[in-house]
Amino acid sequence: MLPASAYAVDADIRRAESLPAAAFTDVEFLTRELETIFHNAWLFAPEPNSDDDTRSLAAQVAARGARAPFAQLGRPLFLQRGWDDDELRAFGNTCTHAWFPLVQGPSRGPTLVCGQHGRRFDCTGRFVSQPGFAGLPDFPRACDHLAPVAVAPWRDHLFTRFAADGAPLAETLAAVDESLVRFPDNLARAPGAGVVREVAGNWKQHAWNYLDRFHIGFIHRAPGGLADAIDLASYQTELHGDAVLQWAWASDPADGIDPALLPARFADPGGRRVFALWWFVWPNLTLNFYPWGLSVNVYQPVPGRPDVTRFIWTHHVLDPQKHAARDRRWLSSQVDAEDIDALAQVTRGLRSGLAPRGRFAPADETGPHWFHRKVALAVTP
């Protein structure tokens, strides 16, 4: 790692330099990010990616005693609904005896029995019994019970946090919630629309690019690009603590969100309609609300590999007909392909070893500046 001062990002966008290239290529910097940013933040729990069972993760663990496995940053975890209470808990999916994964798929019951040597846990994660362990001194120890991970629901989704302490999820998402008070929260998971890809580029390049309105007129240019579908001059970037909202009027009001679904501040007496609410939630989640529903993107770092990102993409449908037209009217696949290609090129550009720290265009790059500074403060406080 470079000295901490080499990563500092000035609060004044007119003076600030971007994070150095090393922050995007250095394995040690990625390790530090995992220990700080990804340890302390609420992280979206990726929805199960199965065509057979399209229930959300939250639905899979709605009933008393229900449990379901999932992974966060490649780490196996499981969710467990209480048997004697309604509480939802999350634990490492690792037996405390000899580390066998405890939960292989959705199941339900008052106790959980490990498949390798029969250790039994209750629905609060406490060791109950195991053959051969009766009368052992100093047993069970605290670490023979399962270690909890924080979990919190949001609409039909779940977030987890490895750190035991921190602000509640509702605080992180307060501004997002304010924008969604009239937006339905019972969207249906689109079958077969889940995508998990390993794509080129550090996770921060994807977040940076998402927050960058400046590239739209170039990478998504007219004719036929996103720059045509929106009124680019109306593009707004709003910084809200741990979340950033970007939005613009649709060029054609028929492609805009029904004003009845949005707060009054998005109403336009001239009849213009919002093309999308593009929410970025620190550190690596985007929630994209369109007339057809919600597109969720997660940019997961891959431990030990700073030059790739695990890109998770699911759809949650409000209007099936509009969802079917998402590529034609909202350019869903086209914008995605253009961004993925641009970031593969940036990743190649970085390999020169001659990339200086950049500067920010003050009117156009408030989102990227916010993000770079937040990373710097979190990793090298």
- Residue window 325-344: x/- pattern of binding to Fe ion, with contact defined by CB under 5 A: --------------x-----
Q: What is the DSSP string of 279-328?
A: EEETTTEEEEEETTEEEEEEEEEETTEEEEEEEEEEEEES-HHHHHTHHH
Separation of CA 272 from chain center = 30
- Residue window 100-139: x/- pattern of binding to ligand FES, with contact defined by CB under 6 A: x-------------x-xxxx--------------------
The SS3 assignment for 61 reads coil
- Residue window 280-319: x/- pattern of binding to Fe ion, with contact defined by CB under 5 A: ----------------------------------------
How far apart (Å, rounded) are the C-alpha atoms in residues 71 and 44?
11
What DSSP element (H or E) covers 90? strand 88-92
Which does residue 214 touch among ligand FES, Fe ion, none (CB within 5 to 8 A, set by kind)? none
Q: Minimal CA–CA distance to 41: which of 296, 240, 242, 222? A: 242
Q: What is the DSSP string of 206-220?
A: HHHHHT-STTHHHHT
Which does residue 357 touch among Fe ion, ligand FES, none (CB within 5 to 8 A, set by kind)? none
Query: Least Å distance between CB 94 and ligand FES?
Result: 9
How far apart (Å, rounded) are the C-alpha atoms in residues 371 and 163?
21
Among residues 75, 97, 108, 221, the one that binds ligand FES under rule CB under 6 A: 97
Which does residue 117 touch among Fe ion, ligand FES, none (CB within 5 to 8 A, set by kind)? ligand FES
Closer by beta carbon to ligand FES, 91 or else 299: 91
> How many residues make contact with ligand FES (CB under 6 A)?
10
DSSP E strand boundaries for 147-232: 148-154, 157-161, 188-189, 195-200
- CB count within 10 Å of CB 75 equals 14
How far apart (Å, rounded) are the C-alpha atoms in residues 366 and 377?
16
Among residues 16, 95, 103, 211, the one that binds ligand FES under rule CB under 6 A: 95
How far apart (Å, rounded) are the C-alpha atoms in residues 125 and 82?
10
Closer by beta carbon to ligand FES, 102 or else 331: 102
Which does residue 100 touch among Fe ion, ligand FES, none (CB within 5 to 8 A, set by kind)? ligand FES
Separation of CA 7 from chain center = 24
Which does residue 242 touch among ligand FES, Fe ion, none (CB within 5 to 8 A, set by kind)? none
Which does residue 339 touch among Fe ion, ligand FES, none (CB within 5 to 8 A, set by kind)? Fe ion
Closer by beta carbon to ligand FES, 127 or else 183: 127
Instruction: Tell me the CB-side half-sphere exposure of residue 26, using CA atoms within 13 A.
Output: 13
Binding site for ligand FES (CB under 6 A): 95, 97-100, 114, 116-119
Binding site for Fe ion (CB under 5 A): 339
